[in-house]
Amino acid sequence: MAKLYFYYASMNAGKSSTLLQADFNYRERGMRTMLWTAQLDTRSEGMVRSRIGLEADAHLYDPATDLWAEVTTRDPVPDCVLVDEAQFLTRDQAWQLARLADEAGIPVVCYGLRTDFRGELFPGSAALLGIADKLVELKGVCHCGRKATMNLRVDAGGGAVHEGEQTEVGGNDRYVALCRKHFSEALGSPT
């Protein structure tokens, strides 16, 4: 039986490279994959890209994309669906992906951030944490060597950003993966 998987982590934990390795493994066995990434991430330009230099073409989704329809109307339908930047999915899209696993029998593997720069769940991540058949935490590393679970947004000078929109596209220039202790110290006590 097909399952819905959610691989989550902080920034810089290897989510995209893990997705690309899974894509390679399926294709090496002669199976068809369908990759998706968020249109919101303007850095992607229709690609899933990893920091270690791997990349592959991907379909773009936005909040209006009906993933169920986009996948099931393909001829032939893919053997596996892989979704990068899954934190940007809507709740409905997460349920569409679950339906692909449950009704169409297509394994769906999602990769994304669990929380934003304030330590709050993204809507897509919250939905996937609630409904995925299998949750897998990928490990990022804080500068202290502990497991990084948080994403600190920083300004141009490297200072912690305390307020702003939940979503701001950026890489190492805008975000630092930290353990909870150093995240809390950078922001000041959240309580």
**Residues with a known catalytic role:** 85
DSSP code, position 145 = S
**How many other C-beta atoms can be found within 10 angstroms of the C-beta atom of residue 78?**
20
In this structure, the strands spanning 150-153 and 175-178 are antiparallel
Torsion of CA 191, 188, 126, 41, to 10 degrees: 150
Q: CA 79, CA 176: separation in Å to the nearest integer?
A: 35
The Cα 98–Cα 121 span in angstroms is 19
Element at 22 (helix H, strand E): helix 15-28
